[in-house]
Chains A and B, each alone.
Chain A
């Protein structure tokens, strides 16, 4: 919790079911501004459901969610249409968030300047993952929920993902990250939750 008690994310007894399938058993999770929380767990353990509920793109079956500001959910490769260029996609986000000045900086940071005017459909999966990170950066959200942000990234890209997380945190965002690869992202994480079959486990931190 921050000094003034404000939370960037507050999930109270939240659960998520799809028909008879319990994707997420009731859980409580709170995040302060400027913190990173890693979400780990096996495939199908509920990581994506947790992130989607936290971001507000999936309605929880029970419980309440509170985010004082904009929340965004981004899966690796999301954030740009196939016929957009990275520059168009990121410029749109920058315009919507009233931060057009950060577009070129984000492109440069993620090593996208040289391919900024190519169609996204012509990019590799790793390059698209970098576009997603640039989108997250320009969004300047109160809460960023990043689903496998290092998927498809090479070693240099993974380091850049850590840099993006650090910058988001520096801007005061809370960052919830689902990942199987915590070697790099673990260095910038403040906390970690582990899910097993939709149930929050004690974090092995």
Chain B
């Protein structure tokens, strides 16, 4: 009998293989990350202290916005290409949820890493170990929220609502992630907030996902 963990791993690996073939996340998100960081730098002006202090917030803003196009991979793209009904029958809800969350976690963490490296290079900003931990934790919670709303939007076929739902739900990741990666700020409390955010979003996603998969 194939376990839930094994099935979730297969779903996640399928997502990775699909990305390797289609490069959809890379072609949509990578230019978006680069353009947003560069434009933010131009908008903030030439003062190095302003750029440095804004860098963590810019990185997290980019990640939260990047979640919107990535949410399409949860259900909308599957539905358009005739695989959503099969997946719903084939995989237990929990395996589908954790597989999709794992894949989105990787994409969002990668988006945060690229944005942080860019701000380091262009804004002369630096990040800390706690900032990197916050990047991983914030991306995990945001992945949970993205899968949840991606499934809702995929079922309702109303993609216009996605940004309205997803961006406010990503606010805790934006606030706590920014503070956790700001040098000189005591990151402990913000990391704790990100852990709580992860637990709440993943618990809600786990509870709601089976209902969302019903017809």
> Are A and B co-members of a single complex?
yes
Cα–Cα, bound, A25→B136 (Å): 51
B21 near A72 with CB under 8 A, answer no
B17 at the binding interface (Cβ < 8 Å): yes
B89 near A79 with CB under 8 A, answer no
Contacts of A73 in B (CB 8 A): 85-86, 89
Q: Fill in one digit per residue for A54-76: 1 if any B CB lies within 8 Å of its CB, else 0.
A: 01111100000000001111110
What distance in Å separates the Cβ of A92 from its nearest Cβ neighbour in chain B? 5
B89 near A75 with CB under 8 A, answer no
Cα–Cα, bound, A84→B24 (Å): 13
Contacts of B77 in A (CB 8 A): 81
B82 near A119 with CB under 8 A, answer no
Cα–Cα, bound, A81→B85 (Å): 12
B89 near A81 with CB under 8 A, answer no
B22 near A82 with CB under 8 A, answer yes
A97 near B90 with CB under 8 A, answer yes
B50 at the binding interface (Cβ < 8 Å): no
Q: Fill in one digit per residue for A39-63: 1 if any B CB lies within 8 Å of its CB, else 0.
A: 0000000000000110111110000
Which chain A residue has the least Cβ–Cβ distance from B214?
Answer: A59
B82 near A78 with CB under 8 A, answer yes
Q: Fill in one digit per residue for B138-176: 1 if any A CB lies within 8 Å of its CB, else 0.
A: 000000000000000000000000000000000000000
B26 at the binding interface (Cβ < 8 Å): no
Total contacting residues, chain B, CB less than 8 A: 22
B2 near A84 with CB under 8 A, answer no
What distance in Å separates the Cβ of B52 from its nearest Cβ neighbour in chain A? 41
Among the listed A78, A92, A135, which residue makes an inter-chain contact with B14, where contact means beta carbons less than 8 Å apart? A92
Cα–Cα, bound, A52→B83 (Å): 14
B1 at the binding interface (Cβ < 8 Å): yes
A83 near B22 with CB under 8 A, answer yes
Which chain A residue has the least Cβ–Cβ distance from B23?
Answer: A83
B199 at the binding interface (Cβ < 8 Å): no
Interface residues of B in 1-18 (CB under 8 A from A): 1-2, 7, 10, 14, 17-18
A161 at the binding interface (Cβ < 8 Å): no
Cα–Cα, bound, A96→B4 (Å): 10
B82 near A79 with CB under 8 A, answer yes
Interface residues of B in 77-114 (CB under 8 A from A): 77-78, 81-83, 85-86, 88-91
A181 at the binding interface (Cβ < 8 Å): no
A168 at the binding interface (Cβ < 8 Å): no
What distance in Å separates the Cβ of A72 from its nearest Cβ neighbour in chain B? 4
Which chain B residue has the least Cβ–Cβ distance from A98?
Answer: B2
A10 at the binding interface (Cβ < 8 Å): no
Among the listed A59, A77, A95, which residue makes an inter-chain contact with B82, where contact means beta carbons less than 8 Å apart? A77
Which chain A residue has the least Cβ–Cβ distance from B88?
Answer: A57
18 A-B contacts (beta carbon < 8 Å): A52-B85, A57-B88, A59-B214, A72-B85, A72-B89, A78-B85, A79-B86, A80-B83, A81-B78, A81-B83, A82-B22, A83-B21, A83-B22, A84-B21, A88-B14, A96-B2, A96-B10, A98-B2
Given A74-B86, A83-B21: 14 more A-B contacts, CB < 8 Å: A52-B215, A55-B85, A56-B215, A59-B214, A70-B90, A72-B90, A75-B82, A78-B83, A78-B85, A79-B82, A81-B81, A82-B81, A92-B14, A96-B2
A residues contacting B by CB (< 8 A) are 52-53, 55-59, 70-75, 77-84, 88, 92-93, 95-98, 119, 135, 139, 141
